[in-house]
A and B are shown apart, each in its own frame.
Chain A
């Protein structure tokens, strides 16, 4: 179990490194070029590359974050066993649902 989580955390870290870099560069580009929300939505509307990138980002974050949080809760609060796994699974699903909803929302807007 721990090894599987370890592997999942390392692999999603690689994805996140790229995704976060692209995300930041895009934000800086948009801000530097004075793009308005309207301009941005124009470019993201119906853009499958955008949807694919951000869906991957969301999925990776929904896996990566809860694994780290699991270690913190275990070490700091002594949470343990099914209770911690169930809470974090719920948390991961929440991240996934909210994140995908947001990405899809921008895609169709």
Chain B
């Protein structure tokens, strides 16, 4: 594939804007982020995009690539280009700041709303909590804790698109890891928060989040766990 021409159509502007077309030679093992960087350095100095780590850790480089959200630093052009064409747009479901950059504020505000924050309680634990590596809780935490906050799942989710109150897969996934954290002291509030309007019950189990999460997490299952946990909590309160 090296040496052939790649056509890259990039969204320029904000909500209103248009695609501009750039052409460049393909290189071996090139990532989508490499392409954007090459265009910005060589052809379009005011092209706005985001990245930091370039190795799949920071979660800042996500964009819509040929229709699906991807982490661009770990996505090879050869895996996603269609007939030598790459179409790059900002992530869906978040306001566009400029070109490929979105405003992630709502995404993180919803993490707070879902109580996706560790709650240590007012008094520190007297001793270390003992967490067995193969306990069900620990394994549930392991399954979801590697989230890098890239927003890909949030962008992939249709329920987020049509229900602006929906907390979204990432926030609910984080809440689920905390529900399974035996040290956490904010479970009642958390389970109430994720069961409120826009919480776990709004999920339609479409699984787009689970299909596209670059860390291979499964927010859909985490959300299922929250439905069970909040139902159990509701039964306990009423009995």
Contacts from A to B (Cβ < 8 Å): 2-7, 10, 71, 74-75
Contact = CB atoms under 8 A, between A and B. Distances in A.
B235 A2 contact: no
Given A7-B231, A7-B235, A2 B196 contact: yes
Given A2-B195, A2-B197, A6-B227, A75 B234 contact: no
Interface residues of B, number: 16
Binding site of A, secondary structure by majority: helix, strand, loop or mixed? helix
B233 interface: yes
8 pairs of A and B residues whose beta carbons are closest in the complex: A3-B234, A3-B195, A3-B230, A2-B195, A2-B201, A7-B231, A3-B231, A6-B201
A97 to B, nearest CB: 27
Contact of B234 (A7, A71, A74): A7
A27 to B, nearest CB: 31
Contacts of A3: 195, 201, 230-231, 233-234
A6 B162 contact: no
Contacts of B169: none
A6 B231 contact: yes
Nearest to B162: A75
Nearest to A5: B201
A75 B158 CA distance: 11
A21 B227 CA distance: 27
B163 interface: yes
A5 B238 CA distance: 13
Nearest to B192: A3
Interface in B145-164: 159, 162-163
B90 interface: no
Contact of B199 (A2, A4, A10): A2
Contacts of B238: 4
Contacts of A7: 231, 234-235
15 contacts: A2-B197, A2-B199, A2-B230, A3-B195, A4-B238, A5-B201, A6-B195, A6-B201, A6-B231, A7-B235, A10-B231, A74-B163, A74-B197, A75-B162, A75-B163
